[in-house]
Structure 1
Amino acid sequence: MRVRDPLADESLTSVFTELGLSQEICAQLGALWGKSRKVGGGQINLLVSHLLDTAAVAGQLWDFYLPQQTKRLLNHISDGQGRRFFMWLCAVHDCGKACPAFQSVDAEGAALVRAAGLTWVDRRLRRKRWRHDKAGGKLLHAVLGAEWDGKHTEWVWPLVAGHHRAFPSKAVLGSVEATGEHQGRGGWPTVQRALLDVVTRVMGYEHLRQVQPHVVPSRAEQLTLSALIVMADWIASDSRPGRFTGIDAIADVSPAGAKRRASAAVKSLRLRGGWGPLEEPPAEDLVRHRFGDRSRPFQKTLVDVVRQMPEPGLVLVEAPMGEGKTKGALAGAEVMAARFGSDGVFIGMPTQATSDPIYSQVCRWVAGFDEELVAQVALLHGKKMFHPEWKELWSARDGSPDAPFEGVDCDEFGMEDTYGLGGAVVSERSGPALWFLGRNRGLLTAFAVGTIDQLLFAATRTRHVMLRFAGLAGKVVILDEVHAADVYMSQFLTEALRWLGQARVPVILLSATLPPPQRRALVDAYLHGALPQEDVPLDHIPTPEGYPSITAAYAVEGRAAYICRSTGTWRRSQQVEVQWLEDVSDEGDVVADRVRREVTDGGVALVILNKVDRAQSVYQHLEASFPSQVHLLHGRLCAAHRAERTSACVATLGPGAQRPERMIIVATQVAEQSFDVDADLLVTDLAPIDLLLQRIGRLHRHEGIWRPEHLRRPRVLVTGAVPSASPLRVHPASEAIYGRYLLLRTAALVEEAVETTRKATSELKAGDGGWLIPAQVPELVAAGYGDDALCVPGIRDEEHKAYQEWREQEQNRAAAAEPFLLARRDEWSKPTLEGLHFTGISAREEQDLQALVRDGQSSLEAVIVRRVSGGYTALSGEPIGVHAEATEYAREAVLGGLTRLPAQLTEAARELAPLDGWRDDPWLRHFPAMVLEEDGWAHLGDYRVGYDSELGLIVRKTN
């Protein structure tokens, strides 16, 4: 096969001559427009110019951005012609614009096309029914169908038909519009074919038959390629001066010129990948090499297991709290990346708050490879503007994540940026790759830290899902605290793992421990994606014999294979005494009284309650007795207060800190995980056993801590329930969150531990009762989620009924997620992306997506401000003017009032909007304001809402 270098020609004249195109066809190609004057930088951009620009960008992406894994895929598909084939795919993405439905949209462009002899009947065009992406799919299906093997035509045309958000079904190819005036008759088919032939020749192929792939990629790999086409298109649509301004004369269109424009544009956007080709680190203590700490036994075992894996796979890590799972996972990810061609990592955490410290850690880790790579570490959550390291890196001088990115064509006809997909204003400062600041694009950075939601979004049937998935496909994916996913979220998690398995993406899952059914479901999902047939039996998944444990699962030669290792923990297990503290009141006076007595002579107590109102009440009781020694932490604090208090607690009670004589933290579930504090005493509401053990992970967490005599043995008081009542009474908020069945089983385990504590005390063997933590963690979790009846009086009788209700609820919740999954069960055998978005979901804003993957109403956030005479102030009291026109100086103070509203306020809060003075602010214009009147209250529906500097958000029903 004779090929030449893509984009080598300085003009199109020789290409036209080689193809034997008539002057009429050349004139028509020179009239077809791709960007109107409005979005072409003040000048029409010819269609052939935009196609060559996009191909040139693709070449730059190959050279400076694509992971080795993706390059290997493209080379595999095209028999070693990966770069050229990728450029061709990107070049033909907008071929559908060569049809009347598109060319008639802009009056100026339409007149030029008609003057060249290409016509249509206006009254027959229903333009919104036939967009250029669908037209391109139709054109490729027809032309390639005559040149290629059908199996290759079938997977390529959806990439073009779906490059604007969604993949249509094949039925669109036979629609009235596809066969009528919309697609084009008369001379249109000839010029459409000529356009494809020109682009193909410029890419260095002699004819379309030479382009035919050799291998059909998997559906997940096709999804990745589709996103890269979108990425190239978006970059080539930037019509600002110095980028891709319009070229309206065919004589000025130059393949080599497109190459020069693309090189300059990618350089100015600071677009680059991550590690690039990475050498496998030597077999030494990798954790010590990267972090300075000697490897713990579990960390060394994890790295050893990863080195033994012959193929990408899933590694499931179960280890106690504080064992160093994150550092071990990062070390394992480095080995995986070197072996399998990944270019970076994504780390998914359970919450925004837990993402922040990991972001800082990843920045330091990445800097160990190359200081410049720190600019490629993205923090992906809505409050990143409060993170000091992120603020320093993403300077305001570089624009905001939502600044205009002109020329991106995301409406029906590629006319304007109706979705506000922002890029950034480029400054002269050497800094991060600004293109990644935009919405839908942050996950495409080489290194990303965010909530697990970012991964769950990639498993939804939503627009632009291909960009989210591609952002994962070139990385090692690390997910922490995976046990926190409930049955609804787990549907999206397992769906994502199926796609990642099919795309051969290495995955590391971290958890304190997992119930056996959940462990099996996660491994099953990945392997069913990785294996060619879905019905491969996986019954022999090994069960770890010890704790901590590492289980690796991967596909090799069409079969599932496993490595399972267990090792010892780095610190000794300790006996935790367990006691009941009966109290189910919202006031929590019993809890407050007991804590007051426990710390009268000093000590640190952590109180974790399941309801904000209950936590606020307990805080008030205790603060009255111990002024300034009690700290309240929950999800209804404004962003500034929550960040300040979390940081203060960790600084005071973290490892090596100078501890106060007395301190009490009253918190909700925000203190359940990734909260590195050490408490002498834990008081906690009843929760499912795995979450209860997570809370116990804060108890006597660090070694070498001096503790008061009466708190030297770790002790947990379980409240939020009345076990002496028959039936068992549980706080209603706890039942609403977790369901009664799991709480019953946990209560039974607590009761058994309480009995062993009582027995040990009566036999003068204090410290021998309760639970041995962490040694007993797997055993307790398996019992809490197992099928065996827990025979405890008062609980046994209602367990079966509660189980039936729980199982029905779980089945219903799992079924409720299915319509939103990226691929339904009956679609997994499909070989292409055709029809993927049939009955797709319109959710696009992050809060709507969060509601989608977390089975709830969208939880809104609002910026709280105060109305004063003469204007407004920030929640902190900072004056912000008559119209709230916050200056850049005051913006941070205003955003400090960002507060998540409880679910009961969601509907009423939808009426809130940004204040007038925020409309041009790059950050504030995206947040609704909740204005507290001069009396300190706002009215939302049937509620009065206020904010107390100590208690946080206060919600009162008005009737």
Structure 2
Amino acid sequence: MWGKSAKRAGGRANLLLSHLLDTAAVAELIWDRYLAPSLRRALDGVAGGGEGSGRRLFTWLCGVHDFGKAIPAFQFIDEAGMERVRRAGLPFDLHALRRKRWGHDAAGGVLIRSLLKEAGWDEDQVDWVWPLIAGHHGVFPSLGTASRGMRSVKRLSGEGTAWDQVRRQLLDVFTRAVGFADLAEVQPRTVPSRALQLQVSGFVVMADWISSDKKHFKGIDELDTVSMQTARARALAAWSRLGLRGGWGRLSPPDQHSFVQRFGDPPRGSQTLVLDVVSQMGAPGLVIVEAPMGEGKTKAALLAAEMLAARFAMDGVFVGMPTQATSDPMFSNVRKWLSALDPGLEAQVTLLHGKRMFNKEWRALVEDAGASPDDRFDSVQEDDFGLEDPYRSELAEGHTTAAQERRAPAEWFLGNKRDLLSPFVVGTIDQLLFAATRTKHVMLRMAGLAGKVVILDEVHAVDVYMSQFLAEGLRWLGQAGVPVVLLSATLPSAQRRELQAAYLAGAQSREEADVSAVPVPNGYPSVTAVWNSPEGIAHAVEDCPAWKTPVAVQIEVLPEAPPAKGDEDLAQTPPRDRDVVAVLRKRLADGGCALVIRNTVDRAQQTYLALHKEFGDDVRLLHGRLTVADRADRTEECLRLLGSPAQKGTTRPRRLILVATQIAEQSFDIDADVLISDLAPIDLLLQRMGRVHRHAGVVRPDALREPWVIVTGFGPRDSAAPWILPESVGIYGRYLLLRTAALVTAAAGTAWSIPDKVPELVAAVYESEQKSVPEAWAEAEAEAFAEWTTTQRARAEAAEPFLLARRGEHERTTLAGLHRGGSQETLDEEHHRAMVRDGETSIEVVLVRQDRRGYRTLSGRSLVITGEASTEVLDDLLGSTVRLPAKLTRAAEEELRPLPEWREHPWLRYSRALIFTEDQQSASLGNVHLTYDKDLGLVVR
């Protein structure tokens, strides 16, 4: 029987037994050279035979995945292969086979059930093993769904004929080849957790995909040359050529000198506190670090990851950031940290987000290693003739550098759905949220998180919709024993409890967990750790003084009235911007640096124009509708001019005004003397305030020696609730804005002690039982609260259909039927992002100019793109990428296409071109006109 046709196995068919043994041999290398010690220990416990006993079980589970190919319904697919089987004496009912199909994944799961029971396996052991086989194409069916083909046409399996005998022999020969005496000896001793099953399933797919690559596993069609010894030699050669490797191996716990060795500075009190709390943990658990902006939470988390890895045998790390923009600098920081830990690890960090090809450091890393720049290599189909969904090999020809020569993550890891399998990963938090969705091949994502320490930064930015996926992810990680470190400026107590309860419910394999006994931190900064112990939920909650001396931040309100007709015209300066100009004219009379944060791009563009008229080249603009190149250049310039005086190496400008949107809200290390901000919920407003007087040693004008924060975007009214900018209400909801406005209004003319007052302020807004608004606002607040709770409930319910497990299913013990109700396998990253962030899909386009001579880049380079593009033109095009507003997504999908010349280029063939004509200098899309202004960015009219 054949397992890979000649077409799919390098010109010669690969026998089924050969492919099973190839996969088993790859699995042995995954165990020996890739799996974290914690995973090996867990599988040893499942096998029940002592240390190392899990290796044979793991090898058998991976290798037996294609057992279902031993049926007429599969062997019939390839005519040459079928003829060999027929000559060997096995019958085919061609009439039935031409009318019906039965996927070999489902068939394998169903057929092996009876053989395992026949061998004496317990029912509960059979129940968790068969879905691993039935689900190895990425979707776990229920038993009823998997059996449907067999019930309707039993002739598809050859039941009652010599096929049964052959399958028994195949399974017996394979089982003995991997080291078991018989099938009965394979039976595990315990049932693994559902999370461990899901992770093992991911490694089954990993082993299958590696052994399915025809470049490394060419066909063997003579049975007498098939052996486990041969398979091991093939697997070892492939592993070496692919350059696959695990993480850091066994780590020693960091000591008192480690912080200085890693980061060059002694630890602050809060950073020491993190390590002290982590050292108390009796098992992998959830650590929540709450500390002010600029306190050094990230460095503490990275060293905590070392300690957690050393104590609980983890072999890598995933760092999840709120955005692509914040992922890029974190990528650099993690590489530096790992280099200080072990110089060989620095090059093994994978950057994971949809636009990593725009990151110069990432591109240099993979290109220096000889990797293909294309993340969409030729696909390799798992099943001949495309009867099943294609897998992507993503191995470019000619780039199979040996592990010891490659100074970059193994290229195999860089492919679609595989990036998380890399031992060290920095990406957006979306990658974890994706792992909590009922999507095809979700097991690969969970396998990628297995054996890692997970760090998630800025978790306060996760809204109620995203938090459903975060909670679901924490459930699975808790059950899998994956340590998680969450970082936040501060969290509402309800959100903190929800995160703890989700992780601990997973750790206890229960639907709910009672965390009422876990105390709320008394001080700030604080560290809260929870974990499951034999006695129940254990915890450690401690706090300490902040590193910085508390600062009195002066609060003012700049009232804003509802806009009048014509206020949105970019050619006019509306009253609100004239007020901003007046404030900054006075505040910056003797110089100084100001940050103005607007809640929408349109407002930011208009404010920039007003300020530019007054202050000229002292004004900068930064928002999400800039091209990739412009945004990167402006971000770099802002960090250089307004960054830490200890690092930037340049003189702070006498006067500078940065107008920005929310992208300046978090993980943006700039220092302003004064902030003008649109009203936002208190936790986000505090994040924005973290950009004011952020660094020590900055020389400031006398009038700005104290930090000033001026809040606008709303208009206080004496006898009624204030007017609030409708666009802000659309983004954040009226309830939280109303309560925040009450705090800001009450504080106007006084100061907030920051960071001391941060927890109190957050509680005042988010703890609904606290009375925070004036009596005259009470009715408006009640209406806003009712609307907010309805919206929150609806958004939470909207996430449920996409969650990996439905409500009430978390106590199930197997993966059978996990994907029941839809697998969403066709979603690309942008649609995945929209799914987990409850947003409309937004599309990125490449801006191109067209004149009489043809197409040109924005900078004027002639655009002649074939499969081979010059580096200059390619960089120009990639740098001209810009994200459209979500309201234009449908029009872009309908009207925009790649240029014909891009079809053969690996990066550009998926890129939609937005063409600006020479006569118009603009483009029409849907019912709007678009222009790109060198100062304003993309302007939508």
> How far 1:801 sits from its partner (Å)?
1.2
Name the counterpart of 1:917. 901
The residue that corresponds to 2:571 in the other structure is none
State how far apart, in whole Å, the 1-side matches of 2:899 and 2:386 are.
31
Q: Deviations over 1:537-564 (max 9, x none)?
A: 3221210010000000000015101000
Aligned to 1:244: 217
Where do 1:334-349 residues align within 5 Å?
A: 334-349=306-321
Segment of structure 1 superposing worse, 481-490 or 366-375 = 366-375
Once the 2 structures are TM-superposed, how far is the Cα of residue 206 of structure 1 from its aligned partner?
0.9
Change in 2 beyond 3 A, CA 1:680/1:173: closer
User: What's the counterpart of residue 772 of structure 1?
Assistant: 753
Pairwise mapping of residues 454-603 of structure 1 onto structure 2 (< 5 A)?
A: 454-557=431-534, 559-583=536-560, 585=563, 586=568, 587=574, 588-589=576-577, 590-603=579-592
1:39 aligns with 2:16: no
- The one of 345, 358, 361 equivalent to 1:373 is 345
Per-residue deviation, 1:249 = 1.4
Q: State how far apart, in whole Å, the 2-side matches of 1:34 and 1:150 are.
A: 29
| Aligned residue number for residue 609 of structure 1 | 598
What is the distance in 2 between the residues matched to 1:402 and 1:697? Answer: 37
Which position in structure 2 is the counterpart of 1:659? 652
1:804: which partner in 2? 786
Asked if 1:388 is matched to 2:360, the reply is yes
**Helix, strand or coil at the partner of 2:629:** helix
Distance apart, 1:413 and its partner CA:
6.8
Residues of 2 paired with 1:260 and 1:380: CA distance? Answer: 33
Q: Distance between the aligned counterparts of 1:127 and 1:853, measured in 2?
A: 40
Contact 1:39 1:406 in 2 (8 A): no
Bigger mean CA deviation after superposition, 587-596 or 554-563: 587-596
Give the secondary structure class of the aligned counterpart of 2:254.
coil
Q: Deviations over 1:550-604 (max 9, x none)?
A: 0000000151010000011111011111111122545442323323332233110
Find the residue that maps to 1:830 and give its secondary structure.
coil
| 1:163/1:226 contact within 8 Å kept | yes
Matched with 1:141 is 113
Q: 1:471 and 1:576, CA in 2 relative to 1: closer, same or farther beyond 3 A?
A: same
Give the letter aligned to residue 229 of structure 1. Answer: V
| Match 2:243 to one of 270, 277, 299 | 270
Residue equivalent to 1:399: 372
Deviation by residue 1:124-158 (Cα, 9 ceiling, x = unmatched)? 23677521100110121111122211111100000
* 1:197-208 mapped onto 2 (5 Å cutoff): 197-208=172-183
Does the CA contact (< 8 Å) of 2:524 and 2:544 recur in 1?
Answer: yes
Q: Which of residues 729, 732, 738 is equivalent to 1:735?
A: 729
Deviation of 1:614 after TM superposition, in Å, equals 0.6
1:119 corresponds to which letter in structure 2? P
Match of 1:289 among 250, 255, 261: 261
- Hey, what's the Cα distance between the residues in 1 that align with 2:390 and 2:474? 33
Kindly report which structure 2 residues correspond to 1:857-896, keeping only aligned pairs within 5 A, or say none.
857-881=840-864, 886-896=869-879
Specify the alignment match of 1:749 in structure 2.
743
Correspondence list, 1:121-136, <5 A: 121-125=93-97, 129-136=101-108
* Structure 2 counterpart of 1:933: 917
Aligned residue in 2 for 1:832: 814
Please show how residues 52-451 of structure 1 align to structure 2 within 5 Å. Answer: 52-79=21-48, 80=50, 81-125=53-97, 129-147=101-119, 148-178=121-151, 180-185=154-159, 186-240=161-215, 243-282=216-255, 284-395=256-367, 397-404=370-377, 407-409=380-382, 418=390, 420=392, 422-425=394-397, 426=399, 428=401, 430-432=406-408, 433-451=410-428
Residue type at the aligned position of 2:59 = M
Shift of 1:285: 3.9
Q: Deviations over 1:84-103 (max 9, x none)?
A: 11111111000101111111
For residues 710 and 9 of structure 2, what CA distance do their matches in structure 1 show?
A: 67
Task: Percent identity, please.
Answer: 52
Asked if residue 714 in structure 1 is aligned to residue 714 in structure 2, the reply is no
Contact 1:548–1:566, Cα closer than 8 Å, also in 2: yes
State the AA in 1 paired with 2:837.
R
Deviations 1:360-412 (A, max 9, x none): 01001111232222232011112212222211110173213435356441x68
Tell me, yes or no, if structure 1 residue 908 matches structure 2 residue 899. Answer: no
Q: Following TM superposition, by how much is the alpha carbon of 1:176 offset from its aligned partner in structure 2, in angstroms? A: 4.2
**Alignment CA distance shift 1:335-1:408 (3 Å):** farther
- Rounded to whole Å, the distance in 2 between the matches of 1:176 and 1:647 is 59
Please provide the CA RMSD for this pair. Answer: 1.8
Counterpart contact for 1:885–1:918, Cα < 8 Å: no
Contact 2:107 2:147 in 1 (8 A): no
Provide the rounded CA distance (Å) in 2 between the counterparts of 1:389 and 1:415: 40
Q: Is the 8 A contact 1:603 1:707 kept in 2?
A: yes
* Equivalent residues of 1:423, 1:436 under 8 A apart: no
1:947 aligns with 2:932: yes
Rounded Cα–Cα distance in structure 1 between residues aligned with 2:445 and 2:634: 33
- Is the CA contact (8 Å cut-off) linking 2:209 and 2:391 kept in structure 1? no
Closer, same or farther: CA 479–882 of 1 in aligned 2, 3 Å: closer
Structure 2 counterpart of 1:811, one-letter code: R
Q: What amino acid is aligned across from residue 249 of structure 1 in structure 2?
A: E
Does residue 620 of structure 1 match 2:609? yes
TM-score of the pair, normalised by structure 1: 0.92
- SS of the aligned residue for 1:522 comes to helix
Distance in structure 1 (CA, Å) of the matches to 2:462 and 2:635: 23
Gaps of 5+ in 1: 1-31, 758-768
What amino acid sits opposite 1:183 in the alignment? S
How far apart, in 2, do the equivalents of 1:654 and 1:47 lie?
A: 61
> CA 1:824–1:406 in structure 2 vs 1: closer, same or farther (change >3 Å)?
closer
2:506 aligned partner, one-letter code? G
Shift of 1:920: 2.2
* Amino acid paired to 2:439: T
Deviates more, 1:800-809 or 1:122-131: 122-131
Q: Secondary structure at the match of 1:398?
A: coil
Alignment deviations for residues 452-481 of structure 1 (CA, whole Å, 9 cap, x no partner): 001000000000111111111210000000
Q: 1:138 to 1:614 in 2, by over 3 A?
A: same
Instruction: Give 5+ residue unaligned stretches, structure 2.
Output: 569-573
User: What amino acid maps onto 1:78 in structure 2?
Assistant: A
Whole-angstrom distance in 1 between the partners of 2:8 and 2:182: 32
One-letter amino acid matched to 2:725:
H
Deviation at 1:706, TM superposition (A): 1.2
SS class of match (1:880): coil
Within the candidate set 647, 671, 694, 2:664 is matched to 671
Contact 1:739/1:806 (<8 A) preserved: yes
Partner Cα separation in structure 2 for residue 535 and residue 334 of structure 1: 30
Q: 1:670 to 1:884 in 2, by over 3 A?
A: farther
Work out which of the residue numbers 616, 634, 640 in structure 1 matches 2:623. Answer: 634
Return the offset for 1:110.
1.6
State the 1:518 CA deviation.
0.4
Distance apart, 1:944 and its partner CA: 1.6
Change (3 A) 1:495 1:200: same
The letter for the 2-side match of 1:298 is: S
Contact 1:286 / 1:295 at 8 angstroms: preserved in 2? no
SS in 1 for 2:155: coil
What SS does the corresponding residue of 1:723 show, helix, strand or coil?
A: strand
1:701 aligns with one of 684, 694, 705: 694
Letter in 2 for 1:857: E
